[in-house]
Structure formats: C-alpha cells, structure tokens
Chains A and B, each alone.
Chain A
Amino acid sequence: MIPVEYYIVLSAILFAIGVAGVLIRRNALIIFMSIELMLNAANLAVVAFSSVLKTFSGQVFVFFVIAVAAAEVAVGLALIVEIFKAKHSIDVDQMSSLKG
C-alpha cells in the first residue's frame, strides 16, 4: 500500500501549482482552472486522510466540495462569457477600467 505521506505531498504540489497558476497566468479561464486544481488538491488530501483515519466524514466533505465547485463553475463561466462578449478578450490585465 502506498503510504499516506505520498498522497499528501502530491496534494501539496498540486495546490502549489494551482496557487502559482492563479498568480502567474493572465487568462481568466486558466486562472479559473488553477483554482479548480487547488480545490481538487484539497479533495485528494481529504480522501487520503479519510482512508487512513477510517472515517467517512472526509469523503462526504469531498462530495460537498465537488458540488459547490460545480455551482461556482456555472457562475464563473457565465461571467467569463459576458466579459468576452463585451471585450473579445478575457485577459485579466486588460480588465483595467477600474483604477484610482
């Protein structure tokens, strides 16, 4: 059996990639994908812990996270489509009409 540490290290790496993606990439869609990666890194960690600790509550949590992430996708993609219609670009660096 693969030790739980491996899963946790993998999930930490995925989370770090997600955070780096949000901070570095400028395309709204890719930022959004990076956020999903962060959430799924957390899911992986929870499932791994849950199987070691022999408790179901973690696995239930993962279902909640998946469901809520789906709700977020609906709103997020709608916003991206709206902005694309107006500007023909979803580059976050060009979203600069707000400044002070």
Chain B
Amino acid sequence: MNLTPQDYQVLTPYILLTAWACVLLLADLFIPRERKSITALLAALGLAVTLGVTLSQVGIEQTGFFGMAVLDGFSTFVNALLLVSGILGIAIAHDYVKRMGIERGEYYTLLLFSVSGMMLMAQAADLIIVFIALELLSIPLYVLAAFARPQLSSEEAGMKYFLLGAFATGFVVYGTALVFGATGTTSLAGIVAAAASPSTSTLLLTIGAALVLVGFGFKVAAVPFHMWTPDVYQGAPTAVTAFMAAGAKIAGFAALLRVFATAFSSLAVDMTAVLWALAALTMILGNVIAISQTDIKRMLAYSSIAHAGYILMAFVPYGNPAVRDVSIAAGLFYLAAYAFTNFGAWSVVIALEKKEEKGLAIADYAGLGRKHPLLAAAMTVFMLSLVGLPPTLGLVGKVYLFRAVIAGGFTGLAIIGVLTSLISAYYYLRVVVTMYMKDGEPETVRETWLGFTTGLSAIVTVVFSLLPQSLFAWASEAVLKLF
C-alpha cells in the first residue's frame, strides 16, 4: 500500500490550494490590519495558480488514493468553474468588506478552504470523501455567513445555516451508513458492482440513497428543503451570499451527479419519479414566492431556489442511457451560465448596498437607468439571463436543458419549466422597469474590483451566448467518460 506520484497527480490542484490556504492563514498574521488587500491578492493568486494547474490537467483520466479520488473531464470542468467562482468571490468581496467594516484576513482563507472542499467534492469517488468534502466546504461557509458579527442578522444567518447544514449532514451520514450496510463498501464503483448482485438488500440501498438525496437537497436548496435559503442569503454579507449561491450549488450538484449517476444508477426507476417531483416543486415554489418579495436579496434567494429546480431537471432522465450524457452536459452548462449571471447580479446589488442593510429594496433601484446607465444595462443583462431571454447565456442554458428533458420523454416537466420561466419574467423584469421607468436618486459606489466583476460577468453572459458551442462541447466532453 504505497502512494505513487500518480496518486498525488490526481489531487494536485486540491492539495496545492489547501496548502496555500494553510500558509496564507499563517502569513496573514504578519500582514498589518490596514493592508489586508495583500491577503486578498495572495488568495486570488493561489486560486489562479490552481486554475492553471487544473487546466493543464484537461484530458487526463485517472483514479488515485486507492480509488478514493478521481480525476476526469467532469472534475476538471467543475473544478475550473469553482476556481473561477472563487476568484470572482474574492473580487466581489475585496471592496465590500472594507466598506462594511468587516475586513479581516480570515475571510479570504476561509473562502479558499471552502473552494478546496468544493473541489474535493467534484473529485470524490467514495462516500467517505463525499462526506469529508461536504463538511470542508460547509464549515467555512457557516463562519463566512456569520462574518459580519456583531451584526445580528448576519449572526442569525450563520446560526440558521449551521443548524440546517448540520441537520442535512446527519442525513448524508446516515444514508451513507445504510448504503454501506447494504453493499459492504463506500466506494462508488463498489456500490455499482454490489447493487448488481442479488444478495444486496435493495430496500436498505434505496432508503440510504433517499437519505443522501435529502441531505444534498438541503445543500442545493431544493424544495421542500429550502427553508433556510432566503434567511441565510438575506442575512449573510452580500459578498458571501454571492459566493455561496454559486459555489455551494455547483459543488452540491457535482456530488449529486457523481453519486447518483454512477453509484445509484440501478435505482434510477424509483429515483426518477422523486427527482421529477423535486424539480417541479422547486421551480414552481421558488418562482411563485419570489413574486411577492420586495427585498432584492430575498428575491434573488428565491430565484436561486428556482434555478436549483431547473438544474435538477437535468438529473431526471439520468437512468436513460440515450439522453443521459446530453442532459447532464446541459446541466453543467446551466451551472456555468448561472454562476456568471449570479455573480453579476449580486455585484450590482453590492454596488447599491449601503451600511446597516440600506439600499437593498427593489424600490431603491428607481432611476438607476438615468443616473448610471452602464450599471443599469449590466443589471438588465443579468435579469434577462435569469429569465432566459436573448441575448444571454440563460437562454442558451434553458434551451439545452429543455431540449434534453424533452428528448428524455419528460415533456410535462419541460412545460412546467417554460411556464415557471414566464412567471419569473414578471419579477425579474420588474427590477428592469423600476430602473428605467421610475424616478429616483440611487447612490452607488464605484469600486475597481466590483466593477471588474460586473463587467466581466456581463461580457461573459452576452458573448458566450453568441458562441455557446465551445462551452457546451467542453461540458459534453466532461460527461463523456463519466459512465
């Protein structure tokens, strides 16, 4: 039982990022309080270097650490997306934490640890690693959600996120225990092999898989496990919310995908009905409740729930080998589209936010179109993308998604998807109408890195929608060898 260099190669990006985060935690002690920008820069540098290493691994397929971790196209795609989210998460936070008076070096270190947990999640080939990764990504997020202490709303957000996150972990662990009891192994490949043998208890395996699904349902905020989302997204510092909405969702779906599509493929018949109901409920409830929101952070929180529903759609046909690949590729594409749109929308929210949670009502956006035409134009792009209107990535993502779902024979679900998108147009476009049609004197801040995030997200959202084939081709390649 010796580890070879190949083993380390599998987890090189993850090891590099974790080591960097540990060193940064120490180095931060020697950086004076008023120069925490250096910590931010070092953290972003670490993410950029890791991104470089990850991209250099495109095309390598390998398992390591005795089948516990895997490096393949899927993990490379997801990791690249996560690292970009991490960099945007730092860019969006850099000026925000200064302005809000919560600038502490730990912010960036915690963010790095969380990203490394998310990356491990995408590479997990064993339920034990899935559990470790889940905790490594969640625990820093609990702290980040409460980062604006002693502000009460932030502390409460952290508390709620912690209690429900730990509750969800309990389900994942118990589900893993039952799966282990049914199959005698925790390795995903081993579970597939054991599930095929007649001596395996299907009942135990199904209950175990269902409990794991409940746990991940909490993490990705699927209805009926979404109750924490609006409160946590509203109470947490906005920069944390932006990172959490993108990163935790990508990682949660990556794990769900890997675990269900590979390990629990034998349960597809039962699981498809459950996933269908989850996706439909999530889309309907998320979009309908979002209509009545007056606070932009809560509105975007419900929008994030609704989008979890759209991405869940990609999982519904996972038992059908003919459409499985294309539908999961569509899911990955949608995750990428959502990540950029999400960061863009939250960066505009941050540009308008003022101390003591002021400037967060949708009414505060009145007059933005006249006073800050560029910012308003960017917000319009993001809102259009969230609805799924041209010329944005959101539209392309939804087209791919609905096409795959219809090809899988779930036309009813696709119709629900289209109808809920129509409903969502009402509350997204209300923001656009408020910006352009109503008079007001909105105050915004002009900050370099925040503007960079807004601009980059807007450009990616528009440009990639005009040439989506390259991104979709990469996503398709990523899932090609998953099965």
Q: CB within 8 Å of B: which residues of A?
A: 8, 11, 15, 18-19, 22, 28, 31-32, 35, 38-39, 41-43, 45-46, 48-50, 53, 55, 57-58, 60-61, 64-65, 68, 71-72, 75-76, 79-80, 82-83, 85-87, 92, 95, 97-98, 100
Contact = CB atoms under 8 A, between A and B. Distances in A.
B146 A79 contact: yes
Interface string B133-177: 001000100110010011011011111101100110111011011
Contact of A18 (B170, B180, B235): B170
B180 A100 contact: no
A61 B170 contact: no
A98 B163 contact: no
SS of A interface (majority): helix
Contact of B230 (A76, A80, A100): A100
Contact of B176 (A42, A92, A95, A98): A42
Contact of B177 (A18, A42, A71, A80): A42
A48 B180 CA distance: 11
Given A64-B128, A65-B131, A98-B231, A80 B173 contact: no
Nearest to B163: A31
Given A31-B163, A53-B184, A98-B235, A75 B142 contact: yes
A31 B162 CA distance: 11
B157 A98 contact: yes
Contact of A80 (B157, B159, B176): B159
Contacts of A87: 152
Interface stretch (B291-299, B396-404, B427-435, B467-475): B291-299
29 contacts: A18-B170, A19-B170, A35-B170, A38-B174, A39-B170, A41-B174, A42-B173, A43-B177, A45-B174, A45-B178, A49-B180, A49-B184, A60-B128, A61-B176, A64-B131, A64-B132, A65-B131, A72-B139, A75-B139, A76-B163, A79-B142, A79-B158, A82-B150, A82-B155, A83-B155, A87-B152, A97-B156, A97-B235, A98-B230
Nearest to A37: B170
Given A60-B128, A100-B298, A38 B155 contact: no
A39 B167 CA distance: 9
Contacts of B166: 32, 35, 72, 76
Given A46-B180, A61-B186, A100 B295 contact: yes
A28 B153 CA distance: 16
Contact of B173 (A65, A85, A97): A65
A2 to B, nearest CB: 16
SS of B interface (majority): helix
A46 B176 CA distance: 9
Contacts of A68: 131-132, 135
B146 A82 contact: yes
B181 interface: yes
Interface string B285-306: 0000000011100100000000
B185 interface: yes
B234 interface: yes
B170 A42 contact: yes
Contacts of B150: 82, 85-86
A35 B146 contact: no
A92 B162 CA distance: 12
| Shortest 8 CB-CB contacts between residues of A and residues of B | A38-B170, A49-B181, A45-B177, A42-B173, A100-B298, A42-B174, A98-B231, A42-B177
Contacts of A95: 156, 159-160
A40 to B, nearest CB: 10
A100 B234 contact: yes
A79 B131 contact: no
A80 B178 CA distance: 31
Nearest to A62: B177
B120 to A, nearest CB: 13
Contacts of A15: 170, 174
Contacts of A32: 163, 166
A39 B170 CA distance: 5
A92 B163 contact: yes
B173 A75 contact: no
Nearest to B157: A98
Residue of B142, B170, B184 with most partner-chain A CB within 10 A: B170
B106 to A, nearest CB: 13
A86 B132 contact: no
Interface string B169-205: 1110110111011001110000000000000000000
A33 B330 CA distance: 41
A57 B163 contact: no
Given A65-B131, A100-B293, 16 more contacts: A15-B174, A32-B166, A38-B173, A45-B181, A49-B180, A49-B181, A55-B185, A64-B131, A68-B131, A79-B155, A83-B155, A92-B160, A97-B235, A98-B156, A98-B157, A98-B160
A46 B204 CA distance: 13
Interface in B433-460: none
Nearest to A53: B184
